[in-house]
Amino acid sequence: MESYVRVVGQALLFFPVAAAVIALPFLIHHYRKYGSMTFARFFLSYSFVLYSICAYFLVILPLPSREAVAQMTGPSVQLLPFSFFRDLSKETGFLLTDPSTYLPALLSNFTLQFVFNIALLVPLGFYLRYYFRRKMLAAVCISLGVSLFFELTQLSGLYGLYPRAYRLFDVDDLLCNTLGGFLGYVLTGPLLRILPNRDEIDEKSFRKGERVTFTRRCLSFFVDLLFVSLLGSLLAVFVSFGAWSFALAYLLYFGLLQWAWKGKSLGKRLTKICVVNRDGTRVLLWRCLLRYGLLCAFVVAYGGVAQLLSLAFAATGASRLVYLFFIALWFLAGIFLFLLETVLNRSSKSGRDYLYGRISGTRLMSTVLRQPAEPPAVSG
């Protein structure tokens, strides 16, 4: 059992890396469907990822050396069903007529391995019923498919990494894993009375998705800046605008292209938001140019003041400590004003935007459409 605990520990260490890899695609998918991220959905999704990693690691680890596997001569496949019950007495000394053998047999590694194979896919049955809303037959078939994938992974020698299978392909494992998925599905039934209702989670997500949150803004803007950088690099190489290439790319992308795409840049398409006039109609070209021209001007002016402070203190010969104090004060003032605007926008019920949006007469609007509720899973 210590090896199983060690494998789970390795999965927990590996999980942050896996989470970082899947985070961006997951956020984009979630925002495109619901327009928001609720804690309940975040927890369910990421706990499912964690479970999947742990289950996979438990199947493939610990990994032996290639030399040790090459020297193995035992069978690779066991196709006789219910061999556990046939081998129970031989492996554990269990005798049905001798109660003193019950507890040692129950606590033996042979029996614990059997129980583990059942428990391995119990959580999968829970997720299939509660989170993915699959029916019982579908859940059983998926559990069987996952178990078959695990067994074939072992039979293939970890996809050819080893010269032969380093673990036994056992039909009993298929039966136990599938039984575990079925038990997880059945045991989820009583839990549905106390767990948050999936329809309520979806409704909360859609309600939150009707507002353009700060996270959606940041994700959208980050994706857009990647494309602006790419466009600016292409202009610098093929058109030779020099230092103006990125400024031109910025105005072309956020101005002309975004207006032509009805207020939806590539980042905004991914996060299901768009720029509109204050009354919700299609954004005008000059308003689109003004909005993002002002945003660029504010950022440049903010950095320009910091540069002027640097030049002023260099010319007057003031101490470095005084210079750092005023620079820090300037940046803290900018951060404070930005946070104040963010709080006011979030608390406003009228779709209040940042200053550059109010001046240009534009705002961001969510384009998420409510979808029909999925039917709840039934046990038939």
Q: Is residue 380 part of a domain?
A: no
368 within 8 A of 375, measured Cβ to Cβ: no
**Within this chain, do residues 19 and 76 fall inside the same structural domain, yes or no?**
yes
Q: Is residue 147 part of a domain?
A: yes
**Within this chain, do residues 228 and 188 fall inside the same structural domain, yes or no?**
no
CA distances 304 to 129, 332, 377, Å, are: 57, 15, 59
Strands, E, within the chain: which ranges? 77-78, 169-170, 273-277, 362-366
Report how far apart the first and last C-alpha atoms of the chain are (Å, whole number): 36
**Within this chain, do residues 157 and 294 fall inside the same structural domain, yes or no?**
no
Q: How confident is the model at residue 93, as a pLDDT?
A: 74
Does residue 123 have a cis peptide bond before it, meaning omega lies within 30 degrees of 0?
no
Taking the CB of residue 42, how many other CB atoms lie within 10 A of it? Answer: 13
**Within this chain, do residues 182 and 146 fall inside the same structural domain, yes or no?**
yes
| Number of domains composing the chain | 2
**Within this chain, do residues 236 and 350 fall inside the same structural domain, yes or no?**
yes
**Within this chain, do residues 9 and 124 fall inside the same structural domain, yes or no?**
yes
Q: Is residue 372 part of a domain?
A: no
pTM of the model: 0.67
**Within this chain, do residues 176 and 300 fall inside the same structural domain, yes or no?**
no
Q: Is residue 155 part of a domain?
A: yes
Q: How confident is the model at residue 368, as a pLDDT?
A: 79
Give the C-alpha separation, 239 to 28, whole Å: 33
Q: How confident is the model at residue 380, as a pLDDT?
A: 45
Low-confidence ranges of the chain (pLDDT < 70): 1-12, 14-17, 19-24, 26-28, 30-31, 239-243, 317-318, 347-351, 370-380
| 271 φ/ψ angles, rounded to the nearest 5 degrees | -100, 5
Q: How many CA atoms lie within 13 A of 311 on its CB side?
A: 6
- Kindly report, residue by residue over 242-260, the tens digit of the pLDDT: 667 788 888 889 988 999 9
Q: Can you give the residue range of the structural domain that contains 357?
A: 212-366
Element (H, E) at 362: strand 362-366
| 362 φ/ψ angles, rounded to the nearest 5 degrees | -125, 165
Among 129, 272, 102, 260, smallest CA distance to 188 is for 129
